[in-house]
Amino acid sequence: MERGTASAYSWVRPGTPRFFFHLAAWLIAAASLFSGEAQALPLFARQTGQNCVACHAGGQFPALTPYGRIFKLTGYTIGVRNPIPLSVMIQAGMTKVANKTNGSLVDPNGSGGNGAMPNDNYPRDGLFTVSQASLFAGGKITDNLGLFAQWTLDPYSQQNGQGKWVSHTASDQFDLRYADRLINPGRDLIVGVSLNNNIGTTDVWNTFNNPFQMVPSPIGPASLQANVFTGPQYSPMLTQGNLNAGLNAYAFWNNTVYAEVGLYRNANGIYSIMSQGVSSDNTTTLKGYNPYWRLALNHDWGANSAMIGLHGLNARVYSDPTNASSPLIRNDDVGIDGQFQHILDPHTFSAQFSYTRERQRYDDALWNPNNPAYTGSYANSSNTIDLLKLNATYIYLAKYGASLSYVSSQGSKDAILYAANPITGSANNRPGTRVWIPEVFWTPIQYVRIGFQYYKYTQFMGGSTAYDGVSSRSAKDNDLTFLYLWAAY
């Protein structure tokens, strides 16, 4: 299929999965365009007339309360439409990495001594910086249709040819939902469909999906912090972001059983509204339509709520994101996750865990030296990644909070994929990384949050000392402090 061309979609015919995917997507989009006052997209709090603590545990984004989960599942439609369509958010702060040198490695510029961290992974390290600004549109469009959309400015998106950091704006999260709720004395059933641009964005427990975890996140995390959230390889389940377009159908029965299935493809062509600001050359990543699924059992009692769930994805990914004929990486993800909440003023406590195993299988051209097209990308025909995330949070009076997170990302040995390399390489060809993340925060007024995070590495890329294979750098040299201010209106 040619990317971004009208002819790529002109031959769609009834009876194929592609036909139904396109049909549903266009029906949702059309409903939003012809719904009369569709341009009136209110802030969620103004729409519902509720304080932030009604939807968010302890008032803290992104964790949702039982009410917040129902609000999202019913398509952001609870309440009365408000004429104020927009909200804004800004994040500022200071990031400080423990050691920005390569230990005993010679300076890559040839001046000798301790080499500087390549590409300056942390722009303005140690300086107060505005690191992100977002514009939101969302809320009730019709009684059954609602939207959550985010457009984000990243002041340190990438470096140009002269090594200078430049800003960039792009579509961020996008979730357009059509939902209905069917209630009688013996049944409470929510059914819906979501057109979205990020695998996991639809999840209302936020236990395993990357977009709504560790918010805010450090300035310019680049390669050093990538392992913390996603594992050393970029799993489509966790990192594809606005490169995707997904159509998901879900049902929630009696606040107990939740099921969701979806198909994801590249967010180009008629779906490019969800990847605006992203070059079309960077949106060729997934091949065809890739299935995602989610199952969960939920139980609410008194001030408590608990969930145990399963999630999975089967994805075919082009090894070269700019080349739709490049060899494929096949990712098979399956995981288990859970959550417990206790919300009773003035106390809020929540705990979450998720464990995801991904198996990656590679086309012969990527790993087999006997293949004429061999690229030398991998030493094995397949690799595995095991990603474990734990978090516990306590909040008092919806103002004062503390949390502790633990992330472990482990994987199989691969001498090519995890070769020795300054700072981000591995001496033993393994990607194992473990980090503890304590955080304290204060919310002096609604929509303003001040916090401090500390990233304490006990392992990085397979080792604790001299881990990269070319220097004396230790895992603790990647320790990070992050002071932030988060505000929204």
The DSSP-derived string for 82-136 is -S--EEEEEEEEEEEES--B-TTSPPTTSS-SSPBPGGGSSTTTTS-EEEEEEEE
Asked whether 278 and 170 are in contact (CB, 8 A), the reply is yes
387 falls within a domain: yes
Residue 335, judged by CB atoms within 10 A of its CB (0-12, 13-18, 19+), counts as: buried
Which of 76, 89, 90 has the alpha carbon at shortest distance from 40? Answer: 76
pLDDT at 129: 84
| Token representation of residue 228 | 């913390």
CB of 284 within 8 A of CB of 38?
no
Examine residue 155 and say whether the peptide bond preceding it is cis (omega within 30 degrees of 0). no
pTM, two decimal places: 0.85
Give 321's strand partners.
none
Structure tokens at 440: 């304290």
pLDDT at 45: 72
Query: What residue type is 378 in one-letter code?
Result: Y
Residue 244 and residue 267: Cα distance in Å, rounded?
A: 5
The per-residue pLDDT for range 247-279, each reduced to its tens digit, is 999 999 999 999 999 999 988 888 888 888 776
| Domain region containing 401 | 6-488
For residues 148 and 88, what is the distance between their CA atoms, to the nearest angstrom? 13
Q: Can you give the pLDDT at residue 222? A: 42
| Cis peptide, bond prior to residue 62, ω within 30 of zero | yes
CA dist., res. 458 & res. 408, Å (int): 10
Q: What is the structure's pLDDT at 82?
A: 77
CATH number, residue 246: 2.40.160.10
Q: Is 205 inside any structural domain?
A: yes
Reference 233, options 358, 367, 318; nearest CA is: 358
Judge whether 1 lies within some domain.
no
Q: Which long-range contacts (CB under 8 A, 24 or more apart) does 410-413 make?
A: 410/385, 410/386, 411/231, 411/232, 411/233, 411/383, 411/384, 411/385, 411/386, 412/380, 412/383, 412/384
CA distances from 473 to 100, 115, 436, 458, 466 (A): 10, 11, 19, 13, 5
Q: Are 203 and 182 in contact (CB under 8 A)?
A: no
* pLDDT in the model for residue 169: 86
Tell me how far apart the alpha carbons of residues 406 and 353 are, in angstroms, rounded to a whole number: 9
- What lies within 8 Å, CB to CB, of 177 at 6+ separation is 72, 75, 76, 145, 146, 147, 192, 193, 194, 195
Q: Name the strand (E) or helix (H) holding 239.
A: helix 236-239
Q: To the nearest 5 percent, what fractions of the chain are helix, strand and coil?
A: 15, 45, 40
The C-alpha atoms of residue 202 and residue 205 are separated, in whole angstroms, by: 9
Residue 22: its pLDDT value, please?
53
Residue recorded with tokens 């096949």: 330
Q: How many structural domains are present in the chain?
A: 1
Cβ–Cβ < 8 Å for 114, 472:
no
For residues 151 and 169, the answer to whether their CB atoms sit within 8 Å is: yes
**pLDDT computed for residue 216 by the predictor:** 66
Secondary structure (3-state) at 263: strand
SS3 180: strand
Residue 62 confidence (pLDDT): 80
Inter-residue contact 117 to 102 (CB < 8 Å): yes
Burial of 110 (0-12, 13-18, 19+ CB in 10 A): exposed
pLDDT value for 424: 80
d(CA 405, CA 423): 24
**Would residue 349 count as lying in a domain?**
yes
Q: What torsion, rounded to 10 degrees, do the Cα atoms 161, 318, 274, 409 define?
A: -80
**Maximum alpha-carbon separation in the chain:** 77
CA 424 remoteness from chain centre: 22
pLDDT number for residue 246: 93
Q: How far apart are CA 47 and CA 320, in angstroms?
A: 44
Per-residue pLDDT of the chain (489 residues; tens, 9 = 90+): 333 333 333 333 444 555 455 555 554 544 444 443 333 233 677 777 777 788 888 878 788 999 999 999 999 998 888 777 788 888 888 888 888 776 544 334 433 334 445 445 566 778 888 888 888 888 889 999 999 988 888 887 777 777 677 788 888 889 999 999 999 988 999 999 999 988 888 999 988 876 555 566 666 544 455 444 444 455 556 566 667 899 999 999 999 999 999 999 988 888 888 888 776 666 678 899 999 999 999 999 999 999 999 999 999 999 888 888 999 999 999 999 999 999 999 999 999 999 999 999 999 999 999 999 999 999 999 999 898 889 999 999 999 999 999 988 898 999 998 899 887 889 999 988 898 999 999 999 878 899 999 989 999 889 999 998 888 889 998 888 889 998 888
